[in-house]
Structure 1
Amino acid sequence: MNKPPTAGEPPTPLDDLLALLDLEPIEENIFRGTTDRPILVPRVFGGQVAAQALVAAGRTVPGDRQAHSLHSYFLRPGDPAVPIVYTVDRIRDGRSFTTRRVVAVQHGQPIFHLSASFQTHEEGLEHQEPMPAAADPSTLPTAAEMLPRYATHLGGQDRVERILEARAAVDLRYADEPPFASVGEPREAKSQVWFRTNGKLADDPLLHIVLATYVSDMTLLDSVLLAHGRGGWAVGDVVGASLDHAMWFHRPFRADEWLLYDQESPTAQGGRGLARGRIFTQDGRLAVSVIQEGLIRVPRGS
């Protein structure tokens, strides 16, 4: 992980996040992760659990192999009052690929399951979809500039402050109006955000993949909400949670440099919505593909 903050200087939000993701080894193949206090919802943020699980897997893999995919299921809500124990099963160590399975446990029960695959670098066929058009991130308002405009939609200034606190380690900028800006007005099921960490990161490739995994769970289901004119959990007109989450890491990238997260939803049904995303570097390289299904229920009378 990153170097600790300089003595005498208070830790930044990014320092706090990196400390949160830096697991404690307690036995061979067993790690313990702390949990963050709940700011927005009374459970552990799913992106945190996924990122910590990937850290646990990566700690058991040779350094010449990088994560190229993960597949995961959220099984139970995480309890922010107690640590999470991650057990790693070393499924396979082949000549080119390494596979790990991680189970996150609280109160004696699994809350999250992840399988991750790592590969040594190889040369091969190359092609990719072109990067979609998107506004320059430097021209977009920061969260601190944008969110106060929607304080009424979000439930007041206190709610705005809590959202800003929860995302303080990440500079995340909406390229279009967020779902809570147009409640009752269905739009195309597509959304875009730019993001980068609020501070520089060390050069460890796994660290950048872990930070992208953390952020990837923040806005992916927005596109589902847009199709129905719903503001989402931010305004309380739906009840939602991540059910599963899959990512493929195609090309090297840095999470402390601007990344475009292009998101869309092809379908929603049965109280569930499907969303898929593509993460591009600012110079147009397709770095990551993401797919997630989420629980999305409409409260009675809403």
Structure 2
Amino acid sequence: MLAETLKPMQVVTFLSPRVLPSLNRSRGITVRCVTCRQVGMASSLGTEAGKFDPPAAEPDLEGVLHKTLDLETIDVNIYRAKSANLWKPALARFVFGGQIVGQAMVASLMTVPRDRSVHSLHAYFLKGGNPNFPVIYHVERTRDGATYSSRTVKAIQNGDNILAMQVSCKEKEESVLSHQYTMPDVPPPSSLLNTEQILQKAVASSEISEFRKIAFSKLLAQEVPVELRPTEPCVYLRTVPSPPIRYIWVRAKGHIGEDMNMHQCVAAYFSDMALLGTALNPEPKFKVSFMSSLDHSIWFHNSFHVDEWMLLEMESPQAGMGRAFSLGRLWRQDGILAASVAQEGVIRGKL
């Protein structure tokens, strides 16, 4: 296990308050869940890391993340994601699983009291999503207790279930029992290149195969609503063997506001981006023929802002029998553990 040392929790106040309307849960109104503004990327490989960090921006209601997680209300407990907003990554066969989890989470939050936020979710991917058809989300109001609410969400496409998810929400509660692991000591995001810059350098390198250059070019051609800065580019690119451990700084591009539910939905979205791939680190020559998430679980521990830099710590304790298991921890910059993630997926291929 990583970072075994325990330390007392600390209370930290965020310094930059923002104002944005809360998640709209009224029936018949489209969910304006997340907003985003494109952040200017480095225009050349010679740009120094950290020099393009943007200043505070005004909310953009038509941002990429809004389109990514936007749902429209069809009836009571029934919501729809338009096919035009579904994203299939360049090298994937199906709709991005993190998007389906994030949208299912949005649908569940449409049905719970405003003073409750998600503390955990457990999802099973049952079938790959098709980007050419809308996804219908049906929410079952399983139970509303004094402090907890439970929801069951099914994502349906062309009559087939593609996701089944349990969501548990609760009111804010103080506790005298409090501890956590220690945040890993890694280079700060201001000293690192983002994935776009790393891929640009790889495409220009003579040490990368033409096959991989084509794949990297496809990744560069896609618009991604979050910015990623790996601590070790060679691990991210899988150019050398390394332990099944990754550290990536991540943040959403644009302002999201103060509603914690919004930030949790975005965290659910990007938590599926690099987690399973951590299992590939020890074998850089392994050629993947099929790779897909089987299940995904998230536990939210403390409040956070995903439009501020957060560290995604990932490890894969085990891989074999055509599957891999990965764990993740999402840290605030001040050392507070914001969320934990677990995932198992199918990985098939050859050396």
For the criterion TM > 0.5, the same-fold answer is yes
Q: What's the CA shift string for 1:118-146, capped at 9, x where partnerless?
A: 00011111111010111100100022211
Superposed, 1:5-20 pairs within 5 Å as 15-20=63-68
Which protein shows a greater Rg? Answer: 2
Aligned to 2:10: none
CA distance in 2, matches of 1:227, 1:129: 25
Give the fraction of aligned pairs with identical amino acids, expressed as a percent: 37
Superposed, 1:185-200 pairs within 5 Å as 185-200=240-255
Q: State which of 69, 73, 97 in structure 1 corresponds to 2:148.
A: 97
Asked whether the 8 Å contact 1:20–1:34 carries over to 2, the reply is no
TM-score by structure 2 length?
0.77
Unaligned runs of 5+ in 2: 1-32, 38-58
Q: What's the CA shift string for 1:186-207, capped at 9, x where partnerless?
A: 3111011000011111211111
Unaligned runs of 5+ in 1: 6-10
Aligned to 1:272: 323
CA distance in 1, matches of 2:113, 2:285: 45
Asked whether the 8 Å contact 1:195–1:261 carries over to 2, the reply is yes
Q: Which moved more, 1:103-112 or 1:139-148?
A: 139-148
SS at match of 2:65: helix
Superposed, 1:41-80 pairs within 5 Å as 41-80=92-131
Aligned to 1:284: 335
Q: What's the CA shift string for 1:73-96, capped at 9, x where partnerless?
A: 000010100000000000010001
CA distance in 1, matches of 2:140, 2:149: 11
* Structure whose residues are more often helix by fraction: 1
Aligned to 1:171: 227
Superposed, 1:1-302 pairs within 5 Å as 1-2=33-34, 15-35=63-83, 36-40=86-90, 41-124=92-175, 125-151=177-203, 152-153=208-209, 155=211, 159-166=215-222, 168-179=224-235, 181-183=237-239, 185-230=240-285, 236-299=287-350, 302=351
Q: Which moved more, 1:208-217 or 1:197-206?
A: 197-206
Q: Which moved more, 1:146-155 or 1:100-109?
A: 146-155
SS at match of 1:146: helix
Q: Which moved more, 1:65-74 or 1:155-164?
A: 155-164
CA distance in 2, matches of 1:131, 1:161: 34
Asked whether the 8 Å contact 1:179–1:222 carries over to 2, the reply is no
Deviation at 1:222, TM superposition (A): 2.5
Task: Give the total of aligned pairs.
Answer: 290
Aligned-residue RMSD, C-alpha: 2.2
CA distance in 2, matches of 1:250, 1:137: 23
TM-score by structure 1 length?
0.89
